[in-house]
Each structure stands twice: as C-alpha cells, then as structure tokens.
Structure 1
Amino acid sequence: MKKIQISYVLILILAMIFSSCVKDLEVEPIDPNVSTSNNVFKDPAAYKQALAKIYASYAVSGQTGSGGGDPDIAGIDENFGNYLRQLWGLQELSTDEAIMAWDDATIKNFHWHTWAPNDVFLSALYSRIFYSIAVANEFIRVSTAAPDQGGEMARMRAEARFLRAFSYYHAIDMFGNVPFVTEDDLPGAFLPEQISRSNLFNYIETELKDMEADLGEPRWEYGRADKAAAWMLLAKLYLNAEVYTGTNRYADALAQIEKVLNAGYSIDDNYQDVFRADNHTSPEMIFPLTFDGQNTQQYGGMTFILHASNGGGMPLNGIDGGWGGIRTIQDFVTGFFGVEESDFTTEDPEFKAIEDKRGMFFFIPGDWEWDITNVGTFTHGIGVTKFKNITSDGGPAPNVHPTFVSTDFPVFRLGDAYLMYAECVVRGAGGNRATALGYINALRERGYGDASGNITDAEMTLDFILDERARELYWECHRRTDLVRFDKFTGGEYVWEWKGNNQEGAATPGYRDLYPIPANDMNANPNLKQNTGYN
C-alpha cells in the first residue's frame, strides 16, 4: 500500500456510486455529481448504502461491474484484482488442493513456493485488503457522531468493525507485520507505521470482543455479519494464535466455537447443496460472501472459481463455458478420498460410486492425464465439480445469467465449526471427546450416506483431523492456513505434486509460511520492515 490518501469526498463517492451488491442490502446509488462530504449523510439511508459498499468490496472490485473500466483501485485490473479471487489463489494454489494451468504472470510460482515481493498476485490481494480496511475506517469515522435509530446505527458500525477485523485477519495470517490504520487516522496523506503480528492479534481480539454486543443475533439477516460470524472469526484467530504470537489459545477458541454450536445452526442434509446457487437457504451457513448473476457481475469471485475450474468436457453446471484453469492433483484425490485413476470410466467420468460423496471430481481416461507432466495443460490432473451454478433441485440459479454466478461463497459454516471443536479437544483444550467424535462422524455420515465411514475414538488424531478438514473444506480458502498451523505447509515432512517446483514434490524453506510485504509498498513506505527471508 503506497501513501494512503484518505480523501473524505473520494471515499464517500466510492461508497455511494455503486448500488448494493449484497443481496439483503439492495439500495439505490447516490448520484456522485451531487453527493459531497457536506450532504451525503444527511439522509440516514446513506449509511446503509455506505455499509453495502464495504460488503461489496469482497465480492466485486469496481463501480460498474463486469470489467466496466472503473476499478476501485487504480493500476489493478478490476477482474483480476478481485478480493475473493486473489484470496482463493493465495490460500489454495500454494497447497495440495489446487493447481493452475494458466501462464498468467507469476501464478505458477505459488505451486512451486517461489513467489517474490514483486509478485503481482500478492500485491493485488494486499491492495484489496487495505482498500476494504480504508472504506471501513471511513464509515466508522463518519458514522460515530450519527444519531442512533433504535440501535441500528450501532449495529451497522459494529458490522463495519467486523469487516475491518475480517480483512486484518487476512493480513495477519498471510503478511504478518503490516501497516496499521484505523478511523483515528484522519484524511490526508501519511505513511502508516508497521504493527507487529502479536500487537495486531491483540487489536483484532479486542475489536471482536468490543463489537459483539452491538451485532445482530445469529441469522438475523442473511449475508450480514452477526454475533456468530464474530465468534467464528475470533475462534479462527485463537485457533492460529500459536502461529501468530507464539502462545496457544486453543481453550479460548473452544469457548467461542461452543457459542456457535449453541446458536441454532444445523448441517445441511446434503453436502453438495451447500455449494449450489440456492445455498442461501442452507441451515449451516454462518457467514457468506454473496453473489448474484444480475447484480454482482464481475470476472472474479465465484464467477472465477466456477469458470476457471471448468473445461475438458466437464459438465457446465449452470455456466456458459469453462476457462480451463484450476483443477486438483492425484495426491489430493487419492490421499484423502482413496480414489484411483482406474475408478473413472468414459461412461462415468464423475465416479458417482465414490463412497464419500464430498469428493466431487471429474476425469476422462484417455482424454485426461493422471500425472501432471505439464502444469500448463488443464487436462493433466483431476477436475473438481464442487461449486455449481444450479439449485439443489437442478434448476437454474436465482437471477440467472449465463456467465455470472449466483452461488454464494461459504466463509464460515457449521461443518468447519464441528472440526474446529474436535481439533481443540484433541489438542487438550477441554471439551468432550465423545462430542468431538460425534461431530466428525456426523460430517462423515452425511458424506457416506450411512455410518460405514465412521471412525473410532482411537482414530481421532490431529493428523486425521487435518485430513478431514481437507475432505470437508477443500477449495474454501482454509488449506494454506491449516497446513501452516500443523507445520506442514513448508519443509519436507509433507510434500505434494509440484511443491518446490518438482513433479514428485520437494521441501521448501520455512520462511514461506508467510508471504512477503509487496515490493511496491516497501519502496513507498520507509516505516516497513520486510518479512524474514525476502530481503
């Protein structure tokens, strides 16, 4: 992030000229030609519009949508520079869950663990993180003196604080020691100071605790942050505390997860329905990023995930064509689902007889290659059909569009909370082993359709839980963080196909558990110190 220019009028215009992209925050845009810092917030409804822009910053990356030439951030293509698209890439492409065929810039460096500070993908996500933080800061600052209306203003301000904490969570997880700005940093140009990872941890923790009382009750309005979302984010922070600060907080994570487990959510009867275009009806969705084929048109987000993972004869599942980019590797399919190349046939390329129905794959013998001898060939590897732009009954998506996707992205869901509980119990944080085992087996029974895949207490180990997280949560932006927490992301204890730029997999240096601060920000801000190993 270069010198931060927090222009009051500019941020307000950015906040207002885009009509809401959040399904439950649909509002009309304010005309930027008449909206100024003096009058834009005279109408109380303007605050809701401004809040909608913060939510929208995770789903779209411009003011007009679908590459309209009006990006949020100058110098970054608005389709390429989408928050979820880049978050997904950094969390998945650097792991055993996904691999990319495209030759876009330096994207293959993520498989190989050879990224550098000048990497355009790192810079894109870093910029998106701090854009969302800047918009949230301005909303919080301007709304502080606004009259409350039955608690609505306090709730909206708490939502903005949650979203800021959400982005700072991504910053602490991936970049560590980062520039730090809040609503107290007034408009103007300045060079932010760098905050240590441990101090940023303390800040996020304090914010999430302080805002909790003002947030809505769990499930009060779909797509908006509520108490359960804050509990999940705080639990995630505590679960990874030993990585971030050197001190484990598993007992604190367990306490937050128990709040979620008692909040009235339930797992969906059908695992596959959690990833379809009507997943807004899923009883296990805690906090999503919402998408709509008509109202959130962009080439990032879920549009990217569905199109980029399609090609090579795969079923379209509600989209109008594939881009032949992302798929998975044999180590993932065989290692976690026990599926071999011989299980697929030309008549059944999706291997519908798979025991664990959570595994949704595609492979045509003779047309696809099991071994990835050429990373740049999409049909080297195994296709993934997890996300679909059709509803649970096979019908068209709501507000259907042939290109743009209406499937929401599950940031937090109950299946994750079940596994987080089990992990904390096995790590000795308290709780009940029988309860933890029951949660794991509930997920496995849903996947298998019966109790044939259930495990025993003796099998409930940390290694098993890490593997189960891969089976349950693959392609949901968890894998890199999980592997780092289990000390298996870098090093040679665990390798996979093309890790370390070796087809068989090779060890990579431990400093790559963190990404570097982007070079453009390092060059612009003398207050910053680069992460170890990247100097």
Structure 2
Amino acid sequence: MKIKHYILFTLLGAFLFSSCESDLDVEIRDPNITLGDQIFTSAEAYKQSLAGVYANLSLSSLTGPGGSNIGGLDAGTGQYMRGLFNLQNLSTDETIFTFENDPGIRGVQRNSASPENVLLRGVYSRAMFSVSLSNEFLRQSTDELLQSRGIGSLGDIQTYRAEVKVLKALSYYHLMDMFGKAPFYDETTEAGFTQGEELSRPELFDLVEGLLLNSLEDLPAGNSGEYGRIDQGVVHMILAKIYLNAEVYTGTPRYTEALSRSEAVINSGYQLVNDYQFNFLADNNSNGAQNEIIFPIANDGQATQNYGGTTIIIQGQVGAQEQNGEELGVNPGGFGGLFRLRPQFSEKFTLNPLFENDARNLIITEDRPISLVVTDPNTGYITTKYSNRTSTGGFGSDRTFTDADFPMFRLADAYLMYAEAHLRGGGGDLNTALNYVNSLRERAFGDTSGNIVSAQLDLNFLIDERARELYWESHRRQDLIRFGLYTGNQYVWMFKGGPSAGTSIDSFRAIYPIPSASLATNQNLTQNPGY
C-alpha cells in the first residue's frame, strides 16, 4: 500500500511522545497510555507504530499542520524536510528566501549561522527525535517481548525492525553530514533524560554504515516492495552517499565502494521516468516516477498536512508578480514570492543556448532581472520544478497542502554518483559512466543533441550537471563541500558570506555549529571548532 495512505494508521509509536530540550527527555502525551504492553498488543499495532516512525519525516505533530511536537519550535521550523531544504539549499547558490527577517533565515542563507540559530535547532532536534522513535520501536520489538505478548515469532516484524534501523541510520547520516557529531543512543538506552556520549564524525560514519549493513538481508529487494517503504535499494543508496563523501567525513576515500553501491542501486530494477518533471508532480507515486524515486517522503494534501516538504517548496515557487499558483496547482498568490534563484545557479542554464531545450530548465525569466535584491520578490529568476498538478493536468487534493512526494533519493543521482566515483578513481568503466550521464541528458533534451563525449566528462562538468539534474532536492551543500567549492573563494555566489556580491567563507563553515539548546542539555556534547 502507498505510504501516504499507510501512515493514516493511528501512528501510536511516533506521536505518543513530545520531545523537549533533551533528545531523549520525552513525556507521555496521553496519560491513559503508559506501558508498552498496552500499546503493542498485536502485529497490526507494530505496523501502526512503524508507520509513525516514517510519519516523523512528514508531519510536525498530530494536532494539525500548525502544531509541533518538538518543544519550543513552530510547525515549519521543526518539520524534517523543510529543515533539510533550508540547510542544504538556502545556504548555497541555488536559492534565496525573500523574508530574511524570519528567525534563522539570514544566518543560514548568508553562511553565518550561530549556535543559537533556530533553524539548526529544528533540524538537530527533529533528527534526534527520529533516533528516539526508532530506538523505542526496536526496544519494544525484541523476540522476547513478542513472545511474552503472545504475538509469536518475529516474522514481518523482523522486516519492520530493519526498516526502522535504516530510518535511524538516515537521521544519523544527516547529522553526520551537516553537524559532524551527535549523541549516541540505542535501544538499550533507558528512555527519559539521558546524556548520550558524543560520537565524532568517523564514529558516526561507522554507526551509520553498521546499521545499514545489518539491516540489508532483512529487507525486500530494491523496487520490489510497497512504494515509500525502505528496501535494499534505499540501503545501497545511502551507503553510496556515505562512501562518496567518506573523504570529507573520515579523511579516507571510499570511491570504490561508492561505485559498487551505485551499481547495486542501478541494478535493482529502478527505471527513469520518460518525463523529467513527472518526478515532482502531485501523482509522482503513480505516474511512472515511482520507479525512479528510490525513497520518497510522503506528502498528501489531506492525510499529511504540514508546512514543510513540497508544500513550502511549491507554494514558495509562486512568483509575487506572476501570481502563477494556479498553474502549479495551488492558490494564485502562493506564499508571496518566497523562493527565488541566485544568478550563479540560473546561469548554469541561461548562459548556454543549448539548455533552452533542456526539460530541466523550468526557470521563469520574463520581466525579471537575474540579479537579486533579497527583500524584492520581483528580482531574480524563479522556477516551476515542483507542482501540485498531476501528469494529466489535474489538481492535487488540496490547494494549500500539496500531494507531490519529496524525492529524497532518485535513480538519476545513482547514475551521476557512478560517474563521479569512476572519475575519482573508484574503478568501473568510462563508457558506462558516459552512457549513464547521456541517458539523463537524452531524457532532458528529448534526443541526443545534448549528449557529451568522453573528453567532456570531468569533475567540473559533473558538479554543474548535478546542479542541473538535482537542484532543490537537498544535495547541493553536500556536493559543493565534496568538490571543495563551498568554503573559501574558489566559487563565490551572490550573498555567499553576507554581501550582495558574495565573499569567501571560513573553512569551519563546512560544518554547522551544534545548537546551544543541545549543548545545554547534554554536557557530553562539545561545540564544533570556530563557533
């Protein structure tokens, strides 16, 4: 069954708890439900709880889109995918947020975020909440407890446990990537106020890798199970990601493993959808894109209403002067011109006439200067990449909250990772890498007119091609760091480091600071250098 319907279950396991300042300081929301034996009474109850762990990636609370179960954070700030988009996209050449006086925005998009930045706290807290939920599920699903509750052998619950381990690994992966350190908790950690030991970046790498490898055999093959649920393809994809970035995370290159895991994804039965934009439409769960999207984050205008995910992206795409929300399946004005493109990203399409025919070029330039004034939503180009319309032209189920699932991982990325790992010495074959890249460009151009030859396939080409293929999919900051372009002045974009023209930023900015709230509640955590 589709995950956005799947999470309509009662979600017991995920939202019984309200996360406070401490990562594990939780309180029972319903005083009438206090014991695991009263919750986990059947195999179906475990499936409901599993759905709740998934739902943490989509919802901010069970009280409606305006609520937050992360103490002290508003609904938008504490939503998982909105936080990931903020930190991975707003901090780069891809986009700018118009209302810069909103808490935390200026620090992130001008690369000056401090430990007090509320957006950082939102991401860190939500990720650690995911860890806590995962641990509780694992704690409640041991074979001994299943037997004592009369549920019998593990059976399907063994698969559920593997899925939860991967969801836990996913959150630790995001913490490793953006913050470089996090506290360690597992299912043996007593629930409540516990100060977990700090894990360094290499230790987090080992933890994430171990969780993923440990779960692999208990999961269905890639693209063979229910849409939206973890399978072996998701595991291979996250492993490919951490191996591709291993030199950043640990100082030791792992490009051979990155290539082999990318191959494993590619050989798992996924397929590119014929139309690039189908990946970002309201029916991307059923229009063919479901065979390209390796792991989606559910959005449903009725069942998963929230102010993050593709809702904030699609509403934020609407131009203030264009009032083109109707074309994108939302209300005409959207959210008032929230997002625009920085010129350095726009130029990856606009400087070369070749890209006028690129299906990925969904940029609106008419009656707009390419340069930006942050507070003027009519400056800078905008994009219509995501839409709450379907592949047949219909509307999503709601004009405020969108139906398009967020494609956290796509097959296209595996193609590009294979090519990059090959160029970085990971083995493989140049012709294979070239064919993967050209398959994406043939889809984009509708023919072979955009194809490249082997002499053109180098790292400089790839970082720009990753931008054209994967923009606004929450990979850009990680990519720029891996290519040595995020800090320093080798690549400068508008408002990088603060001023309009952009400037160099210090190397310590390649890792965000640990939020002050997390430091205050866990004396084992230490601040990252430079903050």
Q: 1:171 to 1:198 in 2, by over 3 A?
A: same
Q: 1:181 to 1:353 in 2, by over 3 A?
A: closer
Q: 1:158 to 1:505 in 2, by over 3 A?
A: same
Which shifted more, 50-59 or 310-319?
310-319
Equivalent-residue separation in structure 1 for 2:294 and 2:417 (angstroms):
14
* Cα offset, 1:252, TM superposition: 0.6
Question: Where do 5+ consecutive residues of structure 1 fail to align?
Answer: 1-19, 344-351
TM-score (normalised: structure 1): 0.90
The residue type equivalent to 1:319 in the other structure is V
Cα deviation code 1:141-182 (max 9, x no counterpart): 111132566731100000000000000000000000211111
Equivalent-residue separation in structure 1 for 2:395 and 2:102 (angstroms):
32
Equivalent-residue separation in structure 1 for 2:64 and 2:474 (angstroms):
24
Show the counterpart of 1:156.
Answer: 160
Q: Does residue 114 in structure 1 map to residue 112 in structure 2?
A: yes
Show the counterpart of 1:315.
Answer: 324
Cα deviation code 1:276-317 (max 9, x no counterpart): 011112121111001111001111221111112213214221
> SS of the residue aligned with 1:39?
helix
Show the counterpart of 1:489.
Answer: 486
Show the counterpart of 1:466.
Answer: 463
Show the counterpart of 1:357.
Answer: 359
The residue type equivalent to 1:264 in the other structure is G
Q: 1:431 to 1:191 in 2, by over 3 A?
A: same
**Residue pair 2:3, 2:227 contacting (<8 A) in 1 also:** no
* Cα offset, 1:89, TM superposition: 0.5
Equivalent-residue separation in structure 1 for 2:11 and 2:117 (angstroms):
35
TM-score (normalised: structure 2): 0.90
The residue type equivalent to 1:306 in the other structure is I
- What aligned pairs does 1:236-385 form with structure 2 within 5 A after superposition? 236-281=241-286, 282=289, 283-312=291-320, 313-316=322-325, 317-320=328-331, 321-323=333-335, 324-334=337-347, 336-339=348-351, 354-365=356-367, 368-372=368-372, 374-385=373-384
Equivalent-residue separation in structure 1 for 2:433 and 2:122 (angstroms):
39
**Residue pair 2:96, 2:342 contacting (<8 A) in 1 also:** yes
Show the counterpart of 2:194.
Answer: 190
* Cα offset, 1:27, TM superposition: 2.1
Q: Does residue 130 in structure 1 map to residue 111 in structure 2?
A: no
Which shifted more, 284-293 or 318-327?
318-327
Q: 1:28 to 1:463 in 2, by over 3 A?
A: same
Equivalent-residue separation in structure 2 for 1:460 and 1:370 (angstroms):
28
Question: Where do 5+ consecutive residues of structure 2 fail to align?
Answer: 17-29
Q: Does residue 77 in structure 1 map to residue 71 in structure 2?
A: no
Show the counterpart of 1:199.
Answer: 203
> SS of the residue aligned with 1:58?
coil
* Cα offset, 1:522, TM superposition: 1.5
**Residue pair 1:107, 1:121 contacting (<8 A) in 2 also:** yes
Q: 1:46 to 1:34 in 2, by over 3 A?
A: farther
Q: 1:104 to 1:148 in 2, by over 3 A?
A: farther
- What aligned pairs does 1:382-531 form with structure 2 within 5 A after superposition? 382-397=381-396, 400-531=397-528
Equivalent-residue separation in structure 1 for 2:45 and 2:104 (angstroms):
41
Q: 1:468 to 1:185 in 2, by over 3 A?
A: same
Aligned residue pairs, count: 497
* Cα offset, 1:486, TM superposition: 0.7
Q: 1:148 to 1:261 in 2, by over 3 A?
A: farther
Q: Does residue 228 in structure 1 map to residue 233 in structure 2?
A: yes
The residue type equivalent to 1:492 in the other structure is N
> SS of the residue aligned with 2:6?
helix
Deviant stretches of 4+, over 6 Å:
none
* Cα offset, 1:24, TM superposition: 3.3
Q: 1:241 to 1:29 in 2, by over 3 A?
A: closer
Q: CA RMSD in A?
A: 1.8
**Residue pair 1:51, 1:156 contacting (<8 A) in 2 also:** yes
Cα deviation code 1:378-437 (max 9, x no counterpart): 22111111000011121122xx01111000000111100000000011111111100100
**Residue pair 1:21, 1:295 contacting (<8 A) in 2 also:** no
Q: Does residue 179 in structure 1 map to residue 190 in structure 2?
A: no
> SS of the residue aligned with 1:411?
strand
Equivalent-residue separation in structure 2 for 1:116 and 1:34 (angstroms):
41
Cα deviation code 1:435-474 (max 9, x no counterpart): 1000101101111111111111010001111110000000
Which shifted more, 71-80 or 21-30?
21-30
Cα deviation code 1:71-103 (max 9, x no counterpart): 211211123311101110000000000111112
